[in-house]
Amino acid sequence: MAEVVIDIPETAAEVLRSSPNGIAAELRLAAAVKLYEVGRLSGGAAAELAGLPKPLFNQRLGTYGVAALHCEPAELKEDFDNA
């Protein structure tokens, strides 16, 4: 797995009121949701980036106002084939 280091300003860390691991998880989820929303990642790849099982990732999409079934027919077929 590749590692990416992001420096967070103290003010942002204070506002987020979370541990470094909690902030990292929140940023991974937010990035995964956005990359899924704009079509850069499939649902499965986005769930993996977020570190969540796909059903839980799909549930979290609603928190961000993103539809869970935002995919091309080929991706939907692939998901059904892999289920």
CA distance 14 to 23: 11
Q: What is the mean pLDDT of residues 46-54?
A: 97
Q: Taking 90 as the threshold, does the pLDDT of residue 75 lie above it?
A: no
Residue 2: inside a domain, yes or no?
no
Higher pLDDT: 30 or 82? It is 30
Answer yes or no: is 7 within a domain.
no
Say what the pLDDT of residue 73 is.
74
Which residue range is the domain that position 72 belongs to?
A: 17-82
Q: Does some domain include residue 40?
A: yes
Residue 50 within any structural domain of the chain: yes
Which 8-state DSSP code applies to residue 4?
-
- 53, pLDDT greater than 90: yes
Strands (DSSP E) found in the chain: none
User: Is 70 among the domain residues?
Assistant: yes
Task: Give the whole-angstrom CA distance, residue 48 versus residue 46.
Answer: 5
As a whole number, mean pLDDT of residues 38-64 equals 95
What is the number of domains present in the chain?
1
Predicted local confidence at residue 70, as pLDDT: 59
69 lies in a domain?
yes
The two structure tokens encoding residue 79: 């998901």
Asked if the structure places residue 4 within a domain, the reply is no
pLDDT grade for 56, boundaries at 50, 70 and 90? very high
Half-sphere exposure of 55 (CA within 13 A, CB side): 1
